[in-house]
Amino acid sequence: MKVSLVQINSQGNKTANISGAVRLIEDVVGKEHPDLVVLPEYFAFLEGGAEEMHRSGEVFPNGEAYTALSGLAKKLGVTIHSGSMVEQDGDRFYNTTVVFGPAGKEIARYRKIHLFDVEIPGSVYYRESDNVARGKDIVTYKVGDVTVGASICYDLRFPELFRALRDKGAQVIVLPAAFTLMTGKDHWEVLARARAIETQTYFLAIGQTQSHDAGKNWCWGHSMVIDPWGLIMAQCSDGVGTTSARLDMKYLDHVRANVPVANHHVL
């Protein structure tokens, strides 16, 4: 199984963001011929407060981003893991991943479970739960014979979710993110490699990169493919770009056979 990660720098122009993502996907599929392509969190719109974010939302299966990626998956004959975008469901909004199979049909939908709420008196106030509702379902899907698990950004800090994905048969776990520069430089690689080691899965961590909101906020980027032993197989440079890697399921089975942690859980 071959995977390609598409690292982008989304801004407040939704149409331009989608067009840029489409161009990068077409380019990497033409060069690398992957089975699975992954975008970062909020690939279609990453700017402003709740009001702007909500205006960018889509009622699936309609909407500019949903339609574009569905059509692109069918055109290219590839599975596209859409990172995440704003989903509107009645009067509620979700931070949602949609996965499109090679026929262009939706094959999975994951709503982010762990929402980033931080309140530091006199310094930082950000509550994702003020803007989006919390998801509840643990989601996996298939790419050929391989089971892939879904997660988003802040989920990375909660290992119980990844154990649940492993218990549902995940061999690959995807984490699209918009990790901030300050937390990313210290925690992104450490946590992602830990999740790969704990679950003995291939771990795909895909981040937004550089600045948005007119330079007020910065994302860490450093998108990575990590193997089940916790080693980085491929990584994006700073800035917009892609990286690809071939995943060996026989090696995954070898790691799990030699260190059978899944057989030793007592809690």
What CATH number did the domain enclosing 175 receive? Answer: 3.60.110.10
Given CA atoms 164, 170, 171, 174 in this order, what sign does their dihedral have?
A: negative
For residue 215, pLDDT beyond 90:
no
Question: Which one is catalytic: 41, 47, 58, 87?
Answer: 41
Number of domains in the chain: 1
Span of 20-34, 114-128, 224-238, 253-267 with lowest mean pLDDT = 114-128
SS3 231: coil
The answer to whether residues 56 and 16 touch, using CB atoms and an 8 Å cutoff, is no
Distance CA 22, CA 20 (A): 5
What six digits make up the tokens of 67? 């339609």
Q: Given this model, what pLDDT does residue 129 score?
A: 83
Cα angle 88-107-249, degrees, rounded to a multiple of 5: 130
Q: What are phi and psi of 92, to 5 degrees?
A: -110, 155
**Structure confidence by residue, pLDDT tens digits, 4-46:** 999 999 999 999 999 999 999 999 999 999 999 999 999 999 9
pTM tops 0.85, yes or no: yes
**pLDDT tier at 47 (50, 70, 90 boundaries)?**
confident
Give the per-residue pLDDT at 123: 64
For the question of residue 142 being annotated catalytic, the response is no
User: By C-alpha distance, which of 82, 170, 97, 182 is closest to 132?
Assistant: 97
Query: For a pLDDT cut of 90, what percent of the chain falls above it?
Result: 88
Among 47, 87, 112, 219, the one annotated catalytic: 112
75 is catalytic: no
Q: Are 138 and 155 in contact, with CB atoms under 8 Å apart?
A: no
Nearest to 96 by CA among 143, 57, 148: 57
Q: Where are the alpha helices (DSSP H) in 77-184?
A: 159-167, 181-183
Q: What number is the average pLDDT over the span 243-258?
A: 98
Is 219 marked active-site?
A: no
Q: What is the pLDDT of residue 213?
A: 86
Q: Which of 58, 87, 153, 236 is catalytic?
A: 153
Instruction: Tell whether the model's pLDDT for residue 56 goes beyond 80.
Output: yes
pLDDT at 122 > cutoff 80: no
Q: Confirm if 151 and 177 have CB atoms less than 8 A apart.
A: no
Q: Which of 141, 176, 158 is nearest to 41 (CA)?
A: 176
Tens of pLDDT, residue by residue over 170-197, are 999 999 999 999 899 999 999 999 999 9
Distance CA 159, CA 146 (A): 21
Given a contact cutoff of 8 angstroms between Cβ atoms, the answer to whether 8 and 208 are in contact is yes
Q: Domain range for residue 249?
A: 2-263
Torsion angle of C-alpha atoms 237, 239, 244, 245, degrees rounded to 10? 40
